[in-house]
Amino acid sequence: MSQQPIIGLVDDDPDMLKALRRLLMARGFLVRSYSSSATFLEELKGLDLDAVVLDLSMPEFNGLELQERMKREGYSYPVIFLTGRGDIPSSVRAIKAGAVNFLTKPVDDRDLLEALDQALEVSGRLRAEANATAEERVRLAKLTPREFEVLRHVITGRLNKQIAADLGASEQTIKIHRMRLTEKLGCPSVAELVRLAQRQGVDAAD
Amino acid sequence: MWRLALVLLLGGCAVSVDAKDGAAQKVLLIHSFGRDFAPFHLVASHFRSELGKLCPGTVEFVDASLEMARFDGVEKDEPLLTFLAAVFGEKPPDLLVPIGAPAAMFCHRNRDRLFSKVPILAVGLDKRRSVPLVEMPGVVEAMTDIELDGLMENILLVMPETKHVYVTMGTAPLEQFWAMELKRAWERYEGRVEMHFLDGLSLAQMKSVVASPPKDSVVFHGIMNRDGAGVTHEAEEALVELVAVAKAPSFGYSEGQLGLGIIGGRLLPLRESAQRAATAAVRLLDGEDPAAIQLEAVPLSAPVYDWRELRRWGIAESALPAGSTVHHRVPTLWQAHRGWVVGAGVVAGLQTGLIVMLLTARRRARESDAAFSLAAESVGLGVWQRDMVTDEIKASDQWRVLFGLNPSERLTLGRVLERVPVEEREGLQRAIEMGNRQGQRYLVEHQVVLEDGTTRWIASMGRAEKGKGSGVMKTRGVSMDITERKRMEAELGQQRNQFAHLARVASLGELTGSLAHELNQPLGAILSNAQTGLHLLNRPVADLAELREILGDIVEADKRAGEVIVRVRSLLQAGEAERAAVNVEACVEEVGRLMRTDLHERGVELRTAFARDLPAVRGDLVQLQQVMINLLMNACEAMVEREVGERVVLVTAVAEKDEVRVAIEDSGIGLPEDVEQLFRAFYTTKKTGLGIGLGICRTIMQSHGGRLWATRKETGSGAVFHLSLPAVRPLTA
């Protein structure tokens, strides 16, 4: 990773917040720190984070609630929880909701950094997936309307002859369209085309 | 604007302005039975005090009594009418207040002969008693509305097993009216319970009935001013005698009976109806047209119960209807020691009584000195007499023993005071001098230090006797040893303190889990800072400024952790918390009771409003109460600068989804810019009081699965603290 990863940090205890911020910055992270979960949630839109470190017990809404609200608003950042006391039911709930880790304060820097590595791996994967989808969308946009129509028929699993009949074209024309679109989309097999169409929400022909 | 405010303020006392000639306005109270018969005696006394409060010093009360309402037969109005005419002569009263239906009927019968131009305010009438008086012009009526069904429903709610209801009632016409009403209203419960109306029996007969009732019986105490034998009973005397022997739970109909042995329920709100009547009286005295004054009938009060009776009959508070208030709560410790505390009080009372008796006896029969001294000595009293001219004190041997003085030495006040500890001397001397100057009886309690250094407590009573001239010649009195009583009082006080301490230890000690959280915050900060420091030291060039800052923060966090430990250290050995279903309303009410004195002293008014059918929450009652105590104390402190009338704390509770939310709203100085700093562990904790700091409060709430936060009040200055706690049962259930 060439850029510095950006970590969102939320803890209502100012001493703790300052110490964690300092620790992460010394390790080369960029840190966006908040002492209120509500403020964090308000400003989330303008942030492009790689991972989030949350205190579990906070006044307005606690870490778990914050995690849920983030998910509800479409933010899938990996979350690491910190808690002042080991609380098994909470940790189970957090992990089930997709938390990367659940650490007890005082937290050892190695544990925290390890958890962050893990989190960044997750966010890297998420980013890569997101990038792949974006790339596919670009490729899909390159298809001509006719090629797009042929794609909708191809993913139903029909033969060229049938598609030709459906679209009122010659089999040869369909073959050419099919070759072009597989080229443009970079998917040699029908199976891959089907998966791509699914990911991008392309409807199969009736 | 100013002027308007002034007028409003004076509104209650506008009569004082009217009474320009300086003479007080006269209010004629006409009693139905006599001044001391229930329930009207309380209506009358509340009315007097309320009206007196509204118009201090400008109203004069004149009492007249029908008396004969107690008796059957033709009403004999003539003597009373003649009497009243003679009393008032040319100057009629300013307001006529008949109390109770018989008095109202008297006014109706004789309206033309009874100051016919003076407005009438009829008090103590019930809707069910149709009294033609209220139809007449110039009459305002303050009525009550006793729902007779509600009285029975309450019995069946609190004691669902009830099979027999014994109703005690008198035989005067008014009492018979209510007996009939009750019989008619309760007809519909036939089959479910058996009614036994005891009217017509003498009090003694009633006592023997209620002393051995069948299983599942209750006693309902109605009005009892004249029993079947024709004997009258003032105030609630009959009730007191009946409950003393009753082997079944007692119920009643009026506020005046609560605390005398009835369990409680929705009762006739005597004070409230008197209050309303008093405000109407002010308006009438102020010259307002009676036709313009309409008062709504006052319904039965919200349910109130006597805690002691609930306990006695094993009734759980959870069985009481929603919105109930429980009075006469007695702390467990007090209960455990009730016997001897009451005993000590009785002994003290007896002693005082004895002293008074002896003093009187002494005055009446001076010649029987010897007999008197003997009697005094036999109960441990020392007798003394001081000649104000020579300052010589003559005292019995017993008295000299009490003060550790030699039997033969000459005594003066100065010599006696030498026995009293220096710090008490001045106060004692002042009390004695004041008593002497005013020629009153005085009672002082003080300590005496004996030769061997032991101290004892002495109570002395004295009375000045005037000589032939104007000056006081002699004072005489008695003294007694009250060391034992003082010791018991002190012990009780100490045990109460210990109890309070234990309660605190128990609840705080149990908090260790949540305190770990408080401790782990600073420890976490220390660790992270220290490890960052180490990491920075590994760099080729260490940033010394940054390292210094880190070390400074470590020191601060460490101090904070140390404070947590200091605060908690002594509290760690306590037992386990009890998690049980807690009724939030009862919990708040209880806190209000615990803090009643505190609130009162600080001039703070506590108002509460609870949603109906509030679900219970699960938690430790003591801890939750501590949180509320703390929040209320904070509210009080925030309002110190306010005028006394504006110091109001409003506690509300509502159910929201599956939690109960309590809001504590004050009208104080508000919140700091950074609200969260309030909750930082221990930083804002005061050294004194019951408070335990908002940090711990929040931790307590979190350990209950709840939350605590603060917001600013929406209108006006002040803070609102919010508590949320998970409800025990879902609302949909």
pLDDT tens-place string over residues B614-665? 899 988 777 787 788 778 888 888 888 888 788 899 999 999 888 999 999 9
Q: Alpha helix locations (H) across B217-269?
A: 237-245
Instruction: Give the CATH superfamily of A6-131.
Output: Response regulator (3.40.50.2300)
What pLDDT does B576 receive? 41
| Inter-chain CB proximity B532 and A104 less than 8 Å | no
Tell me how crowded residue B576 is: count the other CB atoms within 10 A of its CB: 9
One-letter amino acid at B607 equals: R
Higher pLDDT, residue B70 or A170: A170
Positive or negative, the Cα torsion across B96, B99, B105, B106? negative
3-state secondary structure B575-618: CCCCCEEECHHHHHHHHHHHCHHHHHHCCCEEEEEECCCCCCEE
Can you give the C-alpha Rg of chain A in angstroms? 24
In a 3-state reduction of DSSP, which class is residue B331? coil
All residues of chain B having their beta carbon less than 8 Å from the beta carbon of residue A85 are: 513-514, 516-517, 520
What is the distance in angstroms between the CA of the first residue and the CA of the last residue of chain B? 54
Instruction: Give the CATH superfamily of B25-146+268-296.
Output: Response regulator (3.40.50.2300)
Class of domain A142-200: mainly alpha
Contacts of B302 (CB under 8 A, 6+ apart): B266, B323, B324, B325
Contacts of B394 (CB under 8 A, 6+ apart): B384, B385, B386, B387, B411
A19 touches chain B (CB under 8 A): yes
CB-CB contact of A63 with A47 (8 Å): no
Chain A closest-CA separation from residue B636 CA (Å): 24
Phi, psi of B522 (to 5 degrees): -65, -35
Residue B95 pairs with which residues in a beta bridge?
B27
Q: Please check the confidence at residue B501 and state whether its pLDDT lies above 80.
A: no
The whole-angstrom separation of Cα B533 and Cα B547 is 6
The whole-angstrom separation of Cα B427 and Cα B435 is 12
The whole-angstrom separation of Cα B407 and Cα B411 is 10
The whole-angstrom separation of Cα B617 and Cα B660 is 7
Task: Calculate the alpha carbon distances from A64 to A48, B18, B133, B498 in Å.
Answer: 21, 69, 71, 42
CATH of domain B580-726: 3.30.565.10
Q: In the block, which residue shows the tokens 């009892």?
A: B224
A166 touches chain B (CB under 8 A): no
What pLDDT does B141 receive? 87
B425 touches chain A (CB under 8 A): no
B56: preceding bond cis by omega (within 30 degrees): no
**Averaged over B93-97, what is the pLDDT?**
91
What's B318's DSSP letter?
G
Our measurement of the distance from residue A136's CA atom to the centroid of its chain's CA atoms, rounded to an integer in Å, reads: 16
Tokens of B408: 């033969």
| Inter-chain CB proximity A16 and B531 less than 8 Å | no
A119-147 tens-digit pLDDT: 999 888 888 888 888 888 888 889 899 99
Identify the residue among B512, B527, B528, B678 best suited for mutation to test binding to A, counting A beta carbons within 10 A and taking the highest. Answer: B528
Q: Please check the confidence at residue A157 and state whether its pLDDT lies above 60.
A: yes
Q: Alpha helix locations (H) across B11-59?
A: 14-18, 40-54
B269: preceding bond cis by omega (within 30 degrees): no
The whole-angstrom separation of Cα B705 and Cα B467 is 77
What pLDDT does B648 receive? 92
A41-71 tens-digit pLDDT: 999 888 889 999 998 877 667 788 888 899 8
Of A14, A59, A106, the CB nearest to B709: A59
Residue B194 pairs with which residues in a beta bridge?
B164
Q: What percent of chain B has pLDDT over 90?
A: 13
In this prediction the ipTM stands at 0.71
In a 3-state reduction of DSSP, which class is residue B305? strand
Topology of B148-267+297-327 in CATH?
Answer: Rossmann fold (3.40.50)
CATH classification number, B347-487, choose in 3.40.50.300, 3.30.450.20, 3.50.50.60, 3.40.190.170: 3.30.450.20
Contacts of B81 (CB under 8 A, 6+ apart): B110, B113, B114
Pairing of strands B381-387, B392-395: antiparallel
All residues of chain A having their beta carbon less than 8 Å from the beta carbon of residue B525 are: 13, 15-16, 18-19, 106
What pLDDT does B404 receive? 87
CB-CB contact of B413 with B425 (8 Å): no
Sheet holding B264-265, edge to edge: B264-265, B304-306, B325-327
Angle between helices A109-141 and B512-537 (to 10 degrees): 80
Identify the residue among A85, A88, A104 best suited for mutation to test binding to B, counting B beta carbons within 10 A and taking the highest. Answer: A85
Best-predicted range by mean pLDDT among A20-29, B366-375, B515-524?
A20-29
The whole-angstrom separation of Cα B236 and Cα B669 is 48
B676 touches chain A (CB under 8 A): yes
The whole-angstrom separation of Cα B449 and Cα B438 is 29
Dmax (CA) of chain A? 75
Burial call B360-398: b when 16+ CB within 10 Å, e when fewer:
eebeeeeeeeeebbebbbeeebbbbbbebeeeebebbeb
CB-CB contact of B477 with B359 (8 Å): yes
| Inter-chain CB proximity B524 and A16 less than 8 Å | yes
Tell me how crowded residue B567 is: count the other CB atoms within 10 A of its CB: 18
Q: In the block, which residue shows the tokens 């908690």?
A: B568
Q: Please check the confidence at residue B336 and state whether its pLDDT lies above 60.
A: no
What pLDDT does B18 receive? 42
A93 touches chain B (CB under 8 A): no
Positive or negative, the Cα torsion across B624, B629, B634, B636? positive
The whole-angstrom separation of Cα B579 and Cα B620 is 5
Residue boundaries of the structural domains of chain A: 6-131, 142-200
What pLDDT does B371 receive? 58
